[in-house]
Amino acid sequence: MQQAPHTVKSHKRRLNLKRREAFTGWLFVSPALIGFSIFTFGSMLYSLYLSLTDYNLLSDPNWVGLANYIRAFTEDQYFYPFFGNTIYFVVTLVPIVLVLSLLLAILINKKAGPLTKGYRVALFLPSITSTVAVSMVWLWIFNPDMGILNNFLTAIGFNNPPLWLADPAWSKPALVIMRVWQMCGYYMLMFLAGLQTIPESLYEAAEVDGASVWQKFIRITVPMLSNTTFVVAILLVIEAFNMFESIFIMTQGGPLGSTSTIMYYIYEQGFTNYNMGYASALAWIFFAIVMVITLIQYRFRNEQGGE
């Protein structure tokens, strides 16, 4: 059965309209795509090539194949200790920030009065403040002689307060304290947004059934925030792996390499020692590790029945 001429024309007209709309859409996004292709994707491909070369910025790259990757895993005495420092920040920062930001969100999850708004602003401000500025402030706070923290500890009876950033045993905990203080406000807002999507009727029904505060938290709040918690956990893992600015300002990887992470080590190899080929290989190893951990989180989420 043949279609009527006006039906065929109408179909062609709709098809041409869709093509024009698609062309217009691609035209609008083309600047971003071109910029991404050149400055991000193109740079990644070039760094992959450099990771297979011996390149010191002063001479042409010399092809060495997988030698840089083999060196990292078998010859570099600093790779595993610095990777251990990186893991330390991940396993300490992620759970602490996750729990504290959720608790803060629960505490201020009320109708926004003047006091509540003030608390929200005060808790959120550190997360939007420059990490360089925050690091400079905490350098003074952690000063073992004149810092406000040790002065306070001495005043309440501690005769030998920690040396903090000057002590290998306390340098990593000190950085964790600073980053927890800075990061909690941002993730608190994410949890706060999730809390405000939970129907109040669920809590009212639980109260009628005689549920305690803890039972409501475990049976209602935690399950209803599962998607938010999943996103926050992934972002926290990535942010913990990427710790750099605070280390660069506050410790420069010291004392005795106790705070140097893979990210900081990549910077040192590339821009201090000019081993750009080796730094590129470290960057790709680092990327692969973060990617694997993220995929494991997604797999675990799917096995738990997440959507």
For 85-137, write each residue's pLDDT tens digit: 999 999 999 999 999 999 999 888 876 556 677 777 888 888 888 999 999 99
Instruction: Give yes or no for residue 302 having a pLDDT over 50.
Output: yes
pLDDT at residue 114, rounded to an integer: 61
For 243, counting Cβ atoms within 10 Å of its Cβ (0-12 exposed, 13-18 middle, 19+ buried), the class is: buried
Q: What is d(CA 184, CA 182) in angstroms, rounded to the nearest whole number?
A: 6
pLDDT average, residue stretch 263-275: 93
Looking at residue 11, what is its pLDDT?
Answer: 66
- Residue 8's pLDDT is 60
What are the distances in angstroms from CA 214 to CA 59, 198, 203, 207, 219? Answer: 64, 16, 12, 12, 8
Domain ranges of the chain: 1-40, 79-259
pLDDT for 31 beyond 90: no
Label the pairing between strands 53-54 and 62-63: antiparallel
d(CA 153, CA 142): 11
Share of the chain above pLDDT 70, in %: 93
79-259 under CATH 1.10.3720.10, yes or no: yes
Q: Whole-prediction pTM value?
A: 0.84
pLDDT of residue 9: 67
Report d(CA 246, CA 177) in Å as an integer: 12
Q: Span 144-169, mean pLDDT?
A: 91
> What DSSP state is assigned to residue 245?
H
Share of the chain above pLDDT 90, in %: 58
Which pLDDT value is given to residue 307?
Answer: 47
pLDDT digits (tens, 9 = 90+) for 182-219: 999 999 999 999 998 989 899 889 888 888 889 999 99
Alpha-carbon gap, residue 106 to 178, rounded angstroms: 22
Distance from chain centroid for Cα 225: 19
More reliable by pLDDT, 10 or 288: 288
pLDDT average, residue stretch 148-168: 91
Given a contact cutoff of 8 angstroms between Cβ atoms, the answer to whether 177 and 250 are in contact is no
User: pLDDT band at residue 304, thresholds of 50, 70 and 90?
Assistant: low
Please provide the distance, in angstroms rounded to a whole number, between the alpha carbons at the two ends of the chain. 45
User: Which segment of 46-60, 176-190, 287-301 scores lowest on mean pLDDT?
Assistant: 287-301
